[in-house]
Structure 1
Amino acid sequence: MQVTTLSFDNMHNHGELFANMLRARYRTFVERNRWDLPVADGMEYDQYDTPASRWVAVHELGQVLAGVRLTPTMARCGIYSYMIRDAQLGLLESIPEDLLFEDAPVAPHIWESSRVFVSDAVPSRLRLRVQIALIDEMVRSARTLGATSLIGIVPEHSPRLARRTGIDCVPAGPVIETDDGDRSVCINISLATKLH
């Protein structure tokens, strides 16, 4: 199992890995979760997949097992910044505006974690190992980028898993329930306590 952080600067060194990650996102978010997201050639993408972002992929023999996107809260692309802030500003119909207790942060030391997934193809006996590898690389990459904290939207039960894997996170907003019954919550992740 390998873990790689991709950027527009280095993705040419990793063959099909970026495209395979977008294909894995398609299988997770469009096929499995039935989210209405942009798709091209079997790959899911959105307005936040820009040169400002980074993508962490856990992979083995060309198959992407898990992934996450990191986007600076200082990012701008047209009218968009980052997903949580844009939702709060009413730019996204699929995410409610009241997802945070406070205004969405805009600071060089805070990055957003989004599009987190673990493939259904990962057997249950390997799932925790894959999740830990993803979290460790996410933390390492975010710290390398100058982040001291992350903000993200995760399934409601994820903060319990985060504590099991050594992540210091606290809810940053109320539980959000979607039309299909999924329950999520915004969290703040402190990177200060996750030192290697």
Structure 2
Amino acid sequence: MIIVIDALNKHLFGSVLEDMFRLRGRVFGGRLGWDVTIEDGKEIDDFDNLDPAYVVGLDDNGNVVSAVRALQTTGPHMLSDVFHAILDGEAPLRSATMWESTRFCVDTQRLTRGKDRNSVSYATCELMIGSLEFARRSGIKDIVTVMDPVMDRVLKRSNNAPYGYVGKTVPMGKVPALAALLDCTEERINNVREFAGIEHDVFLTEEEALKLLIHSKSTAKMPLDTTTATTPANRDHKPLSSLEKYFVEQMRAAKTEEEVKSVLDLIEALSDSFSPEQRQTLRQTPWALANEA
């Protein structure tokens, strides 16, 4: 299941981004040994401060299992500013219809072998489909991606072979790095879908993603005393209201018991304005988040 996180909705998915940065830390700082900065287990660089788009894969329990970053090439990007050795003296690629795709990673520790929904192969192909479809819908015609030779072979095996390469392969940590070109065509997307056997829409809506995350946290952390929270939050399949989203955001930001209590007090103060069903939903939603460890 794929969600897209950008400058407009990142305040709703802070925990997802935290998990994504930790996954990047394990992959690029650990497994690949790239020269990246790791703080508190998270790999974050200057390009993450430019409000890029992140295409993130979640499993059925709301865990981050894959991710990739999309950045415009008209401004600073990794191939021009960090991996310029790959260009071997060539001018950086810059185009309004070309994006740079970097930090493609999959959680090989959480996922299994094979090709089922919980496999590395499935998550990899789902992320490829999601990133290509997101780019295509955004008017992007081509992607340039910096990767290692292993990922290059994965692309070829997945019916997603690059149509060209830029510059040369250079040493980068434990493995070399190279830059490849992919077109965002329907044919390419269909090729990956056929290889993986994925026919359905891979994207979650914002509301579906929030419900999945809230439900996952409430299921994992629900207190044994059910007098305060008898059912998982918000499982009626109705879209979250703007007010519910606000309470979710405030509860995620709460750092102390006093701050949590302030949010709950605000809900109680406003609850008389809602129907019994709405009051039930509003109370369940923050309780699910409040019981997060």
Change (3 A) 1:59 1:108: same
- Contact kept in structure 1, 2:57 and 2:67, CA below 8 Å: yes
Distance 1:23 1:98, change over 3 A: closer
Partner Cα separation in structure 2 for residue 45 and residue 157 of structure 1 = 23
Cα distance 1:51–1:179, how it changes in 2: closer, same or farther (>3 A)?
closer
Call closer, same or farther: CA 1:159–1:100 in 2, change over 3 Å: farther
Amino acid at match of 1:173: G
Aligned 8 A contact 2:33 2:173 in 1: no
Provide the secondary structure at the position in 2 that maps to 1:124.
Answer: coil
What SS does structure 1 have at the residue aligned with 2:168?
coil
Instruction: State the AA in 2 paired with 1:97.
Output: A
Give, in angstroms, the shift of residue 142 of structure 1: 1.3
Equivalent pairs counted in the alignment come to 182
* 1:96, distance to aligned residue in structure 2 (A): 5.5
**Which one has the largest radius of gyration?**
2
User: In structure 2, what is the equivalent of residue 83 of structure 1?
Assistant: 78
Which of the numbers 74, 88, 97 marks the counterpart of 2:85? 97
Aligned residue number for residue 70 of structure 1: 70
1:54 touches 1:71 (CA, 8 Å); kept in 2? Answer: yes
Structure 1 portions without partners, runs of 5+: 76-80, 88-94
Aligned partner of 1:123 in structure 2 is 112
- Greater strand proportion: 1
| TM-score for the superposition, normalised by structure 1 | 0.82
SS of the aligned residue for 2:139 comes to: coil
Structure ranking higher on relative contact order (CA contacts 8 Å, 6+ apart): 1
Distance 1:178 1:159, change over 3 A: closer
What is the aligned partner in structure 2 of residue 178 from structure 1? 172
Change in 2 beyond 3 A, CA 1:157/1:34 = closer
Percent identity reads: 21
Encode CA deviations 1:96-152: one digit per residue, 9 max, x unaligned.
Answer: 524358422111100000011111212122111111100000101112222100101
State the shift of 1:31 in Å: 2.9
Match of 1:155 among 135, 148, 151: 148
Q: CA RMSD of the aligned region, Å?
A: 2.2
- Please, what TM-score do these two structures have when normalized by structure 2? 0.57
Higher helix share: 2
Take 1:67 and 1:137, find their aligned partners in 2: how far apart are those partners? 10
In 2: Cα distance, 1:101 partner to 1:37 partner:
23
Matches of 2:150 and 2:107, distance apart in 1: 18
Mapped partners of 1:102, 1:96: distance in 2: 9
